Amino acid sequence: MKKHPSIRNLSLSAMFLALAFIIPLATGQVPQINAVLCPMHIPVFLCGFVCGPAYGSAVGALAPVLRSVIFTTPLMFPTAIAMAFELSAYGLLSGLLFKLLPKKNTNIYISFTVAKIVGRAMWGIAHFCLLGFDVSKYNLSAFWATGIVSALPGTAIQLILIPTVIIIVKNKKLLPARN
C-alpha cells in the first residue's frame, strides 16, 4: 500500500492546530502567564519541523486567528493578527531551514533560533503597522518589554523543549516524508 505524505502531513498539521488551541487552556485563566510562556508557539514550531514549511506556516497563520474567533483569546486586534504573522514565520522558517540545512542536531537549534528572531521581529512590525505607525502607541521600548523581556521564560522553555523533541523524533526516524 502506497503511503501518502500529504495526507499524513495534513493530519499531523490538524493535530498541531488542535494543540495550539488546547495547550493555552492550561494557563489561559491568567493572561499574563500566557503572554510569558507563549504556549501557542510550541505546536507551530513542531509543525514546521515535522510537516514542513508550508504546513507550519499555514498552522501558524490560522492558530491565533481561529483561537480568537472560537475562544475570544487572544484579542483579534491587534494581538491575534500580529501573532498570525509571527507564528506563520515560525512555522515557515523552522520547516524551511530544517529542510535546507544538513541534518545535524546543531542545525535544529540554528533553525529554531533564526525562526524565533525573525518571527518576533514580524510580531513587532505587525503591531507597529496595525497600531497606525504611531510610536506613541507602539515603539521599540514597548517591543523590547512585551516581545523580548517578558517572553524570555517562554523562549527558554521552547529552546529546551522543541529541539529536544525534534532530536528524539529524528533519531527514532519518526519524521514523516515531506513534500
Residue 1 has pLDDT above 50, yes or no: no
Report whether CATH 1.20.1250.20 matches the domain 5-171.
Answer: no
Sequence ranges of the domains in the chain: 5-171
Distance (Å, whole) CA 176 – CA 4: 10
CA distance 35 to 28: 9
Q: How far apart are CA 128 and CA 118, in angstroms?
A: 15
pTM: 0.93
Alpha-carbon separation of residue 145 from 13, 42, 139, 141, 166 (angstroms): 32, 21, 10, 6, 30
CB 165 within 8 Å of CB 109: no
| Opening angle at CA 52, ends 1 and 112, nearest 5 | 140
What's the pLDDT tens digit per position in 119-157? 999 999 999 999 999 999 999 999 999 999 999 999 999
Q: Rounded CA gap, 28 and 6, in Å?
A: 33
Would you state the pLDDT for residue 165?
Answer: 96
CB atoms within 10 A of CB 169: 15
Tell me how far apart the alpha carbons of residues 74 and 90 are, in angstroms, rounded to a whole number.
18
71-83 residue pLDDT tens: 998 999 999 999 9
Cα distances (angstroms) measured from residue 130 to each of 17, 119, 127: 25, 16, 5
Q: Give the model confidence (pLDDT) of 37-70 as tens digits.
A: 899 999 999 999 999 999 999 999 999 999 999 9
Q: What is the DSSP string of 82-104?
A: HHHHHHHHHHHHHHHHHHHS-S-
